[in-house]
């Protein structure tokens, strides 16, 4: 944890120095989404999925922060409880390439891990940059800290790869696909997020998403793959 804080502090310091020379003009945008389901009668279930995303873009920099929260219960017994926080800064080198620094922290009570945290730096490339189609590929290196529910902990170096696709199908529909793989000596974590967002009216949209997360190494009795399919309302600003 100390190494993570030191790395994050260094990255933020470098970011602040480089941004000091930039113009003050910047652009803010974001999304807030919420999906909630409650049933009563023969079964008493409750499901909540919430996500917030904020983006700040400058001449050379792009900063992104996201927070996801999932909670499910069945007859007052919690069956899923997870929150996932990420922060990422991109520094533009030219029109098609950039450097990035990213940190993430995930707490999932039913994954076999008490928490998983990563810090990494790397290089990104805009493979496709069209009005209705965008594709970014990234490669990087970093570190991951993990703690099992049993109390055992582990720190390891990782090699990371990612791909992000955005396809604007029409004025009212957008398809996105995010892929991420963090490879370590002890565990490889992969995550896929597929989503389709459809405009309802104004800044309000409906979103269908399917998330798959896989750990190559988990405690005995824990599944390696977790999936989540949700329907949410999204407000863009």
What whole-number distance in Å separates Cα of residue 88 and Cα of residue 90? 7
Average pLDDT along the chain? 88
Check: CB of residue 117 under 8 Å from CB of residue 128.
no
Q: Is the pLDDT of residue 5 over 70?
A: no
Rg (alpha carbons) of the chain, rounded to whole number? 19
The mean-pLDDT minimum among 41-55, 60-74, 191-205 falls in 41-55
Mean pLDDT on 138-147: 96
What's residue 204's pLDDT? 98
What's residue 156's pLDDT? 96
Percent of the chain with pLDDT over 90: 70
Class of domain 31-236 as given by CATH:
mainly beta
pTM of this structure: 0.84
The predicted-structure confidence for 113-134, as pLDDT tens digits, reads as follows 889 999 999 999 999 999 999 9
Q: Which residue has the higher pLDDT, 110 or 199?
A: 199
Question: Which own/partner contact pairs does 154-159 have at CB distance under 8 Å and 24+ positions apart?
Answer: 154/186, 154/187, 155/3, 156/184, 156/185, 156/186, 156/187, 157/184, 157/185, 158/118, 158/120, 158/182, 158/183, 158/184, 159/183
Query: Where do the structural domains in the chain lie, given as residue ranges?
Result: 31-236
Q: Is the pLDDT of residue 41 over 80?
A: no
């Amino acid at each position: 944890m100390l190494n993570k804080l030191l790395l994050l502090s260094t990255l933020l310091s470098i970011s602040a120095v480089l941004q000091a020379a930039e113009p003050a003009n910047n652009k803010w945008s974001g999304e807030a989404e919420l999906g909630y389901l409650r049933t009563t009668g023969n079964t008493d279930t409750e499901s909540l999925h919430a996500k917030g995303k904020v983006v700040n873009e400058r001449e050379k920099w792009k900063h992104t922060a996201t927070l996801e929260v999932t909670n499910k219960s069945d007859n007052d017994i919690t069956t899923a409880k997870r929150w996932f926080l990420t922060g990422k800064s991109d520094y533009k080198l030219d029109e098609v390439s950039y450097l990035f620094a990213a940190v993430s922290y995930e707490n999932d009570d039913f994954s076999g891990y008490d928490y998983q945290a990563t810090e990494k730096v790397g290089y990104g490339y805009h493979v496709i940059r069209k009005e209705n189609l965008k594709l970014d590929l990234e490669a990087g290196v970093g570190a991951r800290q993990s703690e099992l529910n049993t109390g055992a902990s582990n720190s390891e170096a990782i090699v990371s790869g990612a791909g992000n696709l955005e396809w604007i199908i029409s004025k009212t529909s957008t398809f996105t696909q995010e892929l991420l793989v963090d490879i370590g000596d002890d565990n490889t974590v992969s995550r896929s997020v597929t989503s389709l967002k459809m405009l309802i009216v104004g800044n309000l949209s409906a979103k269908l998403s399917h998330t798959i997360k896989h750990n190559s190494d988990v405690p005995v009795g824990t599944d390696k793959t977790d999936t989540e399919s949700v329907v949410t309302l999204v407000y863009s600003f």
